[in-house]
Amino acid sequence: MSTVTSARPAAPSKLPATITFVAVAAVVIACAVALRADWLALLELPERIVTYARLLTEGFWANPFADPQRDWWAVAFDFMFDSLYIAWIGTLIGAILSVPFGFAAARNVAPQWLVWITRTVLNVIRAIPEFILAIVFLLPLFGFHPAAGALALGIGSVGTLGKLTSEALEDLKPGPVEALRATGASGIAVLRWGMLPQVMPEIISFWLYRFEVNIRAGAILGMLGLGGIGFLFDQLFNGREWARAGIALLVTVVVTIIVDQLSAAVRHRIIGAEQFTHREVF
């Protein structure tokens, strides 16, 4: 009878991981040296955070219904709601434009050459930040008008939404499409009754998700003068009006979180809990 004394297997070497980590750390340190930022200011950071936290929160404790503060809160909400309006209209523009782009970029819908062209266009759009669209095309044309902001967000959204729509289409179940083809349905009828109903829930939840993204993306457009909360930030921080800036920040955080929660609730309701985690929405 033999005793069961199998040797414990040797642990796999950690050397490659360690070398990689050291190399990355070295690169980052080199970058930090090359950047020549005022790194010593970091030592004072905790103290500064305390100071500014006190300055920024001053407005919170004052009676919001007394005179100057009432105005401060009202203005902050006004600008934040403008941001929501701009983001909503922008998302809608992006949503409407992205449907044809999405269909044209799906391999199982459009011919190869069209897919290639559409995807290239979508990739280029995704590479251009919204604010560049705004300063290059829309500001000269519209002047400082919130519609320019909404259009910038809309065009910016087409890239992501079109890509996601085409991926959703490529993943659809072939059954209903084949059934329709078998009945001799026309191409449009196949799109409308075989494909659209399958992908619509997912597409609508992309739209909502993009709305959440656009609320944040719109802030930079406000700073350029196209309306919304970014404009207020610019005024208050440049004017060093900390109490008012604090109120504006608080309003932004609270409104954004509430809208995110609502939008997430609707998305869950539409497509169930699984969400679109398998897709690269990030």
Partner 1 sequence: MTAPAAPARPRKPGPRPFFIVVGVVAVAMTVWSAIQIDFTLAPFFEGNPRAWGIVQQYLTPNWAFVAQVWPQWLETLLMAVIATFAGALLGLAFALMGSHTSNRAPWLLRVVRWILSVLRSLPEIGWAYLMVAMVGIGSLAGVLALVIFNMGIIAKLTSETIDAVDRGPLEAADAAGASTMQRIVVALLPQIWPGYFSYVLYVFEINLRASAIIGMVGAGGIGSVLNVERARFNYDNVSAIVVGFIIIVIVLDVVSQTLRKRLM
Q: Which residues contact partner 1 by CB under 8 A?
A: 24, 27-28, 31-32, 34-39, 41-42, 45, 48-49, 52, 81-82, 84-86, 88-89, 92, 123-124, 126-129, 131-132, 135-137, 140-142, 145-147, 149-150, 216-220, 223-224, 227, 230, 233-234, 237, 240, 242, 245, 249, 252-253, 256-257, 260, 266, 269, 277, 282
Q: With respect to partner 1, which residue has the nearer C-beta, 63 or 183?
A: 183
Instruction: Give least dist CB 237 to partner 1, A.
Output: 4
Q: With respect to partner 1, which residue has the nearer C-beta, 66 or 82?
A: 82
Pick from 192, 158, 194: nearest CA to 173:
194
Q: With respect to partner 1, which residue has the nearer C-beta, 132 or 174?
A: 132
C-alpha dist (Å) from residue 251 to 42, 56, 76, 203, 217: 28, 13, 7, 30, 17
The tally of CA atoms less than 13 A away on the side-chain side of residue 248 is 23
The DSSP output letter for 28 is: H
What's the burial of 87, exposed, middle or buried (CB within 10 Å: 0-12/13-18/19+)? buried
Report the interhelical angle of 196-221 vs 67-104 (nearest 10°): 140
Q: With respect to partner 1, which residue has the nearer C-beta, 161 or 220?
A: 220
Instruction: Give least dist CB 29 to partner 1, A.
Output: 9
Instruction: Give least dist CB 119 to partner 1, A.
Output: 12
| Helix, strand, coil tally for the chain in percent (to 5) | 80, 0, 20
Under a CB-based contact definition with an 8 Å cutoff, are residues 79 and 221 in contact? Answer: no
Q: With respect to partner 1, which residue has the nearer C-beta, 174 or 277?
A: 277
Instruction: Give least dist CB 60 to partner 1, A.
Output: 14
Q: With respect to partner 1, which residue has the nearer C-beta, 117 or 174?
A: 117
Instruction: Give least dist CB 68 to partner 1, A.
Output: 21
Instruction: Give least dist CB 239 to partner 1, A.
Output: 11
The DSSP output letter for 194 is: I
CA dist 169 and 17 (Å) reads 40
Residue type, 117: I
Q: With respect to partner 1, which residue has the nearer C-beta, 111 or 202?
A: 202
Instruction: Give least dist CB 170 to partner 1, A.
Output: 16
